[in-house]
């Protein structure tokens, strides 16, 4: 899919979204000017912004509901701030259909980098699910489809490779979300060459650092980090604690969320983080983690101690 080139109409839409962002927080205009960090997808050298969006639970809403308004603001805020990647899945209830509908309402299919998954057993079931996914996402091309939680990996990867050859998808990948599956995930990566892996990694769940992330860095596999807030639970660990002064003076971080995301992004194997939210203010907050300084080893250790 070509990188989006901005028309006047796109510019007006982006300007409107930036105005909305400015109302959300006075720091965001400075952010918009300085831009979001990007990392390269090793398979192609394509640049991908480091902040993305997850959709599990948060976008599992009715397309007819009023909640669509704030979900649309989340999407517009992220896109206006330079983010592109949205991760969804056919098993996330309404999330995949909601993602497709929001992209249509925002006229943003071209700008977005769409990542979804296949979770089926058997070739026919996988192909049926993928066709339904194209319909729900309201698109003829999907950037990335990942085998969800290593379900029937070799069968589904074969289908995904065929779709890639046909030009209907651009990248293939594998996912998991628990540390007990990391060895299996690494074995699958070593067996079959893929473009992306998606794995859980956070300041509170660091197993991926040991073998998986170094292997991906050495072998040219892009990494999406999921559960960077452990589904929100990490916030409870710092509830009531003030953010240390060094967060802003040494890391340009103004919230706990930014500190957690910067911890993850400091690992150079990570391509993009995909925190989920239904709240436009949180989306703006998360965007700010994608600019400014990232922690070195010493600062990473200090962040770990805050969550110990
Ligand atoms: N097997 C897999 O492939 C797999 C498994 C798990 C996850 N994933 C992907 O990874 C994504 C992220 O994981 P996740 O959804 O489990 O959890 P997560 O991103 O670790 O946490 C999401 C929670 O954090 C809250 N939050 C987000 N930004 C915040 C901020 N700036 N300040 C305070 N709270 C904030 C959200 O609150 P609100 O709800 O109030 O907005 C939400 O409850 C998923 O949505 C999915 O796309 C994939």
Choose one of 223, 274, 276, 290 to mutate for the ligand 1 pocket test, by most ligand atoms within 8 angstroms of C-beta. 276
Asked whether 87 lines ligand 1 (CB < 6 A), one says yes
Mean pLDDT of 23-39: 62
User: Could you tell me the distance, in angstroms and rounded to a whole number, from the CA of residue 57 to the centre of ligand 1?
Assistant: 8
Predicted confidence at residue 209, as pLDDT, reads 98
Residue 56, ligand 1, Cβ within 6 A? yes
256 Cβ inside 6 Å of ligand 1: no
Q: DSSP letters along 128-171, please?
A: HHHHHHHHHTT-S-EEEEEEGGGTTHHHHHHHHHHHHHTTSEEE
Tokens of 307: 């969550």
Assess whether the C-beta atom of 95 lies below 6 angstroms from ligand 1: no
pLDDT (0 to 100) of residue 28: 52
- The residues spanned by each domain of the chain are 23-227+242-306
Treating both helix axes as pointing N-terminal to C-terminal, what angle do 123-136 and 95-105 enclose, rounded to 10 degrees?
Answer: 30
pTM for the whole structure: 0.92
The pLDDT confidence band at residue 64, using thresholds 50, 70 and 90, is very high
Task: Provide the 10 A C-beta neighbour count for residue 4.
Answer: 14
Question: Quick one: pLDDT at residue 226?
Answer: 98
* Residue 302 confidence (pLDDT): 97
CATH class of the domain comprising 23-227+242-306: alpha beta
In tens, the pLDDT along 239-256 reads 999 999 999 999 999 999
CA distances from 80 to 1, 3, 156, 247, 308 (A): 19, 15, 34, 25, 35
Give the pLDDT mean for 114-131. 98
Rounded Cα distance between 4 and 10, Å, is 10
């Amino acid at each position: 899919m070509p990188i989006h080139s901005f028309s006047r109409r796109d510019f007006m839409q982006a300007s409107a979204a930036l105005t909305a962002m400015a109302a959300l927080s006075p720091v965001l205009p400075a952010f918009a000017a300085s831009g979001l960090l990007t990392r390269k997808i090793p398979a192609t050298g394509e640049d991908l912004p480091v902040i993305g969006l997850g959709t599990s639970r948060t976008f599992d809403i009715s397309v007819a509901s009023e909640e669509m308004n704030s979900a649309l603001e989340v999407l517009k805020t992220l896109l206006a701030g330079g983010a592109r990647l949205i991760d969804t899945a056919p098993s996330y209830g309404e999330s995949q259909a909601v993602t497709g509908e929001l992209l249509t309402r925002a006229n943003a299919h071209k700008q977005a980098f769409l990542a979804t998954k296949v979770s089926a057993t058997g070739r026919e079931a996988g192909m049926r699910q993928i066709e339904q996914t194209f319909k729900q996402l309201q698109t003829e091309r999907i950037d990335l489809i990942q085998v969800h939680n290593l379900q029937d990996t070799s069968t589904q990867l074969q289908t995904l490779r065929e779709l890639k050859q046909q030009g209907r998808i651009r990248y293939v990948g594998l996912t998991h979300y628990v540390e007990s599956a990391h060895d299996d995930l690494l074995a699958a990566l070593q067996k079959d060459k893929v473009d992306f892996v998606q794995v859980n990694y956070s300041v509170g769940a660091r197993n991926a650092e040991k073998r998986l992330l170094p292997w991906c860095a050495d072998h040219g596999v892009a990494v999406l980090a999921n559960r960077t807030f452990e589904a929100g639970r990490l916030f409870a660990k710092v509830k009531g604690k003030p953010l240390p002064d060094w967060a802003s003076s040494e890391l340009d971080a103004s919230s706990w969320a930014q500190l957690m995301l910067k911890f993850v992004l400091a690992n150079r194997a990570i391509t993009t983080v995909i925190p989920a939210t239904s709240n436009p203010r949180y989306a703006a907050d998360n965007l700010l983690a994608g600019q400014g300084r990232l922690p070195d080893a010493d600062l990473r250790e200090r962040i770990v101690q805050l969550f110990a």
